[in-house]
Chain A
Amino acid sequence: MTRIVELRQGILKKNDELARGLRARYGAAGVLVLNLVSSPGTGKTAFLERTLRDLLAQGSRAAALVGDLETDNDARRLAASGAPVRQINTHGICHLDAEMIDRHLTGWESVELGALDYLFIENVGNLVCPSSYDLGEAIRVALLSVTEGEDKPLKYPTLFNSADAAVITKIDIAEPCGFDRDLALKNINEIRPGIRIFETSSKTGAGMEEWLAYLAEALVKKAS
């Protein structure tokens, strides 16, 4: 005799439940959490380095969790900004999940969530898998560099469609790369209509003022 057993449940239910718990925890602590996602080589670490340095200089309190398959190179780079930074090594796993975040927040002695304004999570460089895993973040940021091709949002619609903000990096080298700005903006808007887009250079600081203002606004909005 055959029979059909209905389950109707999310495959990533465990992750989603953990992420809900994290979101409640961030909310209670009043910290704005951002999840930065891009391909390898987009300049996430350089952008975060610059963001942390600029935030600390204006008196904000920020920390970062950084995910990579191996090495703590990025954590060491970011720590030079003066912000507390903790490395997460996934040992082959291509994305961060809520359990990894939970585990690394627990027992992070130098960081008290309640004493932070911003917590940045730099995801593993990958434009596919991280989009399935909710980390409890308030804002998901998709990054794209001028060297990657303007059609990246069309090639990876699942990530760009789930993002709350988009950051174009390395605009200081846009011209020699033959970067078609209008086309890139159009493609991002085609996948995620109306999304906030920041055009930045971590090297020259271009666009950082606007980005920091966005962060400050989002923090106020979260608190109210």
Chain B
Amino acid sequence: MHELSIVSSVVDTVTDSLAAYPGARVLEVRLRVGALASVVVDSLEFCWGIATEDTPLQGSRLVVIAVPVVMHCAVCAADVELESVQSFRCPRCGQPCSDLRQGRELDIDSFEIDDETEPESSKSEKTGAKA
């Protein structure tokens, strides 16, 4: 159960990045999670509400993009996608594979914000109207 610390580190990283967008509200955070990343997606989602409370991410959605395992099969000379992590064999030729090319990802892909800061042009118009 290290999902809470993983989620907390996502919250910290996104919060740091928000400095460039003052006043922005976070709508969604997208993670890329490999089938071999050792994290439980349900637990990430469960922890999300707790970890985002009283942060600029409060109320945002967590979206997890699942990344399948891809191995390189030397026999087929090709990258092949595994259907399950119960057997590390090439799904085409059945040979055992140990050359992992994808599947351990645990990344923040992107986040979506509602940027309420107005563009420079409309700001100056408003100032003009007030004066």
Using CB atoms and an 8 Å cutoff, list the residues of chain A in contact with chain B. 1-12, 14, 93-95, 128-129, 131-132, 154, 157-159, 161-162, 189-195
Q: How far is the CB of A160 from chain B (nearest CB, A)?
A: 10
A93 to B5 alpha-carbon distance, docked (Å): 9
Picked from A4, A95, A129, A162, the residue with its CB within 8 Å of the CB of B110 is: A4
B37 x A5 contact (CB < 8 A)? no
A193 to B10 alpha-carbon distance, docked (Å): 34
Q: Is B47 an interface residue (CB 8 A)?
A: no
A12 to B9 alpha-carbon distance, docked (Å): 8
> DSSP class of A's interface residues: helix, strand, loop or mixed?
mixed
Other 7 A-B pairs with CB < 8 A, given A4-B111, A161-B85 = A10-B107, A12-B106, A93-B2, A93-B5, A132-B106, A157-B36, A158-B37
Contacts of B116 in A (CB 8 A): 1
> DSSP class of B's interface residues: helix, strand, loop or mixed?
mixed
The chain A residue sitting closest to B111, CB to CB, is A5
A76 to B87 alpha-carbon distance, docked (Å): 40
Contacts of B27 in A (CB 8 A): 2
Answer whether A1 and B96 are a contact pair too, CB < 8 Å, given A8-B109, A94-B1, A193-B88. no
The chain A residue sitting closest to B100, CB to CB, is A161
What is the size, in residues, of chain B's interface with A at 8 Å between Cβ atoms?
37
Q: How far is the CB of B30 from chain A (nearest CB, A)?
A: 9
A157 to B109 alpha-carbon distance, docked (Å): 25
A189 to B89 alpha-carbon distance, docked (Å): 10
The chain A residue sitting closest to B112, CB to CB, is A4
A159 to B108 alpha-carbon distance, docked (Å): 22
Q: Is B46 an interface residue (CB 8 A)?
A: no
Picked from A5, A12, A189, A194, the residue with its CB within 8 Å of the CB of B113 is: A5
A6 x B98 contact (CB < 8 A)? no
B106 x A8 contact (CB < 8 A)? no
Q: How far is the CB of B17 from chain A (nearest CB, A)?
A: 6
Picked from B31, B38, B100, B108, the residue with its CB within 8 Å of the CB of A128 is: B38
A154 x B96 contact (CB < 8 A)? no
